Amino acid sequence: MPSPKAKTPGRSGGSPVLGSSNGRYEFVSLNRAAPPHLLQRQGSDPATARLRASESPTRRRGSGSSTGSTGGGQGMPEEDCMRLNPSFVGIALSSLLAVDLWLSKRLGVCACEDSSWGSIRPLMKLVEISGHGIPWLAGTAYCLYKSDSTAGQEVMLNLLMALLLDLVLVAIVKALVRRRRPAHNRMDMFATFSVDRYSFPSGHATRAAMCSRFLLAHLVLAAPLRVLVLLWAGMVGLSRVMLGRHNVTDVLFGFWMGYCQYNLVEMFWLSPQALQALLGPLIV
């Protein structure tokens, strides 16, 4: 028979009293199973007590939080997962851009008079003017006008068409890419236009590569002059970086673009018949 001191658990405070032993009340935590002798006094088996303990508010709160955390991890949007795992191509391009900007700034030793090599800035500007489009267009048009032979006129006319093609293609690419010039650049270039505020690609580099290849292919030059033409093309590209006009990738892409432009010139080479058709009205 149960002890008369056993009380029914009240509504306020503590865990429920399951029984007493040796005149003392014993309290059982809801988070663990009760002892077997108290389970027998209460008239329930161990499995039922463990089931009730598992349904306690503390256990329910813990299970709910764990489920919520798991569900939150699984419910992450797919675009967020893609941002956290960038592709190898994106990492490679970002690294290449960082190296390009760093190297371009280190090589911009003539960007201003206060730079480390600022004393040779006037010489680099002369090299810059030698690769400008206006002197090349004016010189080619003058040679075409003064040429007496048909072969000379054919070469000069195709060179003039190549220079015009270069201006158009470079302007289109610059307008599409819209890459700004380096921050350390001073906009004091000779005869600039609206698209010249963009950096990619270098028009001087495309023109130097195309014209040097054109001259080496269609003019009979001695070996020292051929080497001089190649050195001039390389100096034009190097001056663009040293003056701070372009980044390294702008110049490298410009050399490649100019090399490919010459292939277009060879594909659409103007024959003597086409030359006579174009220059006939001017001669008459």
DSSP secondary structure string for all residues of 216-235: HHHS---HHHHHHHHHHHHH
Residue 85 has pLDDT above 90, yes or no: no
Residue 195 has pLDDT above 80, yes or no: no
pLDDT tens-digit series, residues 247-281: 999 999 999 999 999 999 998 888 777 766 766 66
In terms of domains, do 149 and 33 share one?
Answer: no
Contact between residue 204 and residue 177 where contact means Cβ atoms under 8 Å apart: no
Helix 203-218 and helix 133-146: axis angle, to 10°?
30
In terms of domains, do 40 and 162 share one?
Answer: no
Q: Strand pairing partners for 26? A: 19
What gap in Å lies between CA 35 and CA 26, rounded to an integer? 10
In terms of domains, do 179 and 119 share one?
Answer: yes
Q: Tell me the percentage of the chain whose pLDDT exceeds 70.
A: 66
What gap in Å lies between CA 1 and CA 250, rounded to an integer? 98
What single-letter amino acid sits at 131? G
In terms of domains, do 125 and 251 share one?
Answer: yes
In terms of domains, do 125 and 266 share one?
Answer: yes
Which of 30-44, 118-132, 161-175 has the largest mean confidence? 161-175
Range of the domain at 27: 17-54
Q: Which two tokens stand for residue 265?
A: 């010139």
In terms of domains, do 120 and 243 share one?
Answer: yes
Strand ranges (E), 116-214? none
**CA torsion angle for 249, 253, 255, 258 (degrees, to 10)?**
-150
In terms of domains, do 49 and 147 share one?
Answer: no
Given this model, what pLDDT does residue 145 score? 87
* Stretch 114-119: mean pLDDT: 82
Given this model, what pLDDT does residue 92 score? 83
Residue 20 has pLDDT above 60, yes or no: no
Contacting residues for 80 by C-beta, under 8 A, at least 6 apart? none
* Stretch 106-113: mean pLDDT: 84
In terms of domains, do 44 and 135 share one?
Answer: no
Q: Strand pairing partners for 27? A: 17
In terms of domains, do 252 and 132 share one?
Answer: yes
What values do phi and psi take at 136, rounded to 5? -70, -45
In terms of domains, do 47 and 178 share one?
Answer: no
Catalytic residue positions? 204, 246
Residue 89 counted as domain residue: no
Residue 77 has pLDDT above 70, yes or no: no
Residue 101 counted as domain residue: no
In terms of domains, do 29 and 160 share one?
Answer: no
Residue 72 counted as domain residue: no
* pLDDT confidence band for 37 (50 / 70 / 90): low
Given this model, what pLDDT does residue 88 score? 77
Please confirm whether the linkage preceding 201 is cis (ω < 30° from 0): yes
Residue 86 counted as domain residue: no
Residue 66 counted as domain residue: no
Q: Strand pairing partners for 180? A: 198
What total number of domains does the chain contain?
2
* Stretch 89-110: mean pLDDT: 86
